[in-house]
Amino acid sequence: MCGIAGVISFTDELRTQERIFAKMQDAIRRRGPDGRGQFLSEHAALLHTRLSVIDPEGGAQPMHYSDGREVYSIVYNGELYNTSELREELIRSGMTFSTHADTEVLLKAYAHWGADCTDHLNGIFAFAVWEHRRERLFLARDRIGVKPLFYHLTPERLIFGSELKAILAHPKVPHEVGLEGVSQLLLFGPGRTPGCGVFRGMQELLPAQRAYYSREEGLQVSTYWRLQAREHTETFDQTAEHVRYLLTDAIGRQLVSDVPIGTFLSGGLDSSLLSSVAARQFAKEGKVLHTFSVDYRDNEKYFQASKFQPNADPVYIRRMQDYLQTEHHWTVIDTPALVDALYEAVEARDLPGMVDVDASLLLFCREIREHVTVALSGECADELFGGYPWYRDPEIRAAYGFPWSQSTAYRMGFAKPEIAQALQERQDVDRAYRLTCDSTDLLPGESETEQQMRRMMRLNLDWFMQTLLDRKDRMSMYSGLEVRVPFCDYRIAQYLYNVPWEFKEHGGYEKGLLREAMRGYLPDEILWRKKSPYPKTHNPNYLAAVSSRLAGELRDPACPLFAIVTKDSLDHLLQSEESIQWYGQLMTRPQIIAYFLQLAHWMRTYEVKVVLE
């Protein structure tokens, strides 16, 4: 994994702007601590910071290639999981290779197929290719959106980068937030509308999008893949066998690495399955898998079972450790460190996020990086197999709006009156929800339940899952840790999109299909364990700590929060014991308080100017 950035301008002389480009590279140096490179020409600058995973000696970037007609230069962030197949196909077409790096395979795939190279890729990626003679830039992002790719476009230039901070480091990019940005922060946060970069003029290439940028045509964006509704003709047993193949194949492909690799292990179904498949593969090679878990100081003392989290994780983690005989590592986080990390998590994400969930993951990844460079994680299983409560609770499922965030009116109550009125007129949340539902591909004649579940899957893939992928990418790459997510293999997503809901809910269990498909990989108490979310602290000291810090913010008349929210609403938040789900089951009152703490830090640190013209 790496960090990429660049500038294309047909009006500027870019070879004189090395200081600017060095500053942009510095902004994303944590994504690539092992090396950095630049390509500069009159109208193009490509920037790269490298985390070496495959072929450390031969994969330096930017990488260049000439086919005799055109010269190509690439900067690339990601991993290809079908590198060997692509290399063999390209060799048959006459290509030769001098490295084992997937970068060279990707570069020559582009030279061979052009934009259609994305149709051949299985992996997680964001990359840019500059064609020297045509003076044309190609950009592309993976189908699921695991790797980020932001851009800022003006008539003078296109600036792109793996993270917002790389683009914001350019002096021509203002640190301004308009009404749309305020809407994202107050009504959608920590999520974002797909493609929105919150800052004015900042956008993100959507998952499965590719684009050309040239002098003559400007920026031309197209979509190369989308979920398509098809009739499912396999029996349940055939479906389970198909799922077992797809998942074990995806995990096997993602265990390829020239550096140490491990897995997250929470004791839940998804991470335990990944760890079990990986441990078996390692055992065949005579190696022992490293697994990693996180917990919080005194959580056993303060844990309270709930509908969403019926039991604590540690006993199940220890059971899996014994079952798999892994080299296991615990990270135990105390409240003061967790609260302090709220601010660093903002600087990793470049935006307010999932507060303590982000902060704990940042601290966790920092500890993991002491042992391995690559780790596998279980993101996306719940979105694909229907594991969240809103998939299975008929009342939640039938409610209008984003099921993880039924709090728009409550959120609006924090805004200054003039902002609240403007946001009310925009109806951003309602419009975004309807647009996603209306654009969902449905199969004519199928039941209302099946159509409803397709819409639910699209909502989750396009919105909720993107927030989790943002979180996992930024918190891990902040410590130079590459996290791979096998459930995000696009083949699994496309297949599961057409599997009937009754199969997914087999036996009345959440993710019943996945459990049946993977029988034999886990002890029964893990295989049939009720879903438990990412662990969070239950220590009451956390609420006290974030409340104290927000109260301190409110005593400052120059607190940046007052540009968009009222002091009275935040005072009420601190005094009230009302508990509302802000974003999923992990963000209630303590996390709402922490979210405004993060928002204040973000506005101050990024010198955000609110412009409500």
Catalytic positions, please?
2
Dihedral, 50, 56, 58, 61 alpha carbons, nearest 10? 0
* Residue ranges in 93-235 assigned as alpha helix (H): 102-113, 164-168, 179-183
Distances (CA, A) of 9 to 170, 411, 596: 13, 40, 38
CB proximity list for 57: less than 8 A, separation 6 or greater: 99
β-pair partners for 6? 46, 160
Nearest Cα to 102, choosing from 78, 67, 137?
Answer: 78
Residue 319 amino acid letter: R
Residue appearing with tokens 């903002």: 346
Pairwise CA distance, residues 483 & 475, whole Å: 10
Q: What angle do CA 13, 17, 23 make, to 5 degrees?
A: 150
End-to-end Cα, the chain, rounded Å = 40
DSSP 37: E
Query: How far apart, in whole angstroms, are the C-alpha atoms of residue 462 and residue 146?
Result: 12
∠ Cα 494 498 503 (to 5°): 120
Q: How far is CA 59 from the centre of its chain?
A: 24
Q: How far apart are CA 583 and CA 404, in angstroms?
A: 6
Contact 220, 13 (CB under 8 A): no
CA distances from 573 to 93, 570, 592 (A): 64, 5, 8
Report which secondary-structure segment, H or E, holds 236. Answer: helix 236-253
Identify the H or E element spanning 65: strand 63-66
- Which residue is associated with the tokens 């790269």? 48
Half-sphere exposure of 475 (CA within 13 A, CB side): 27
Q: Could you say which DSSP state residue 256 is in?
A: -
DSSP per-residue string spanning 514-579 = HHHHTTTSS-HHHHTPPP--S-----HHHHHHHHHHHHHHHT-TT-GGGGTB-HHHHHHHHH----
Tokens encoding 605? 């640190």
- Own/partner long-range contacts of 566-570 (Cβ < 8 Å, ≥24 apart): 566/414, 566/415, 566/416, 566/417, 569/413, 569/414, 570/414, 570/596
Nearest alpha carbon to residue 596 among 545, 537, 547, 544:
547
Phi, psi of 295, rounded to the nearest 5 degrees: -145, 175
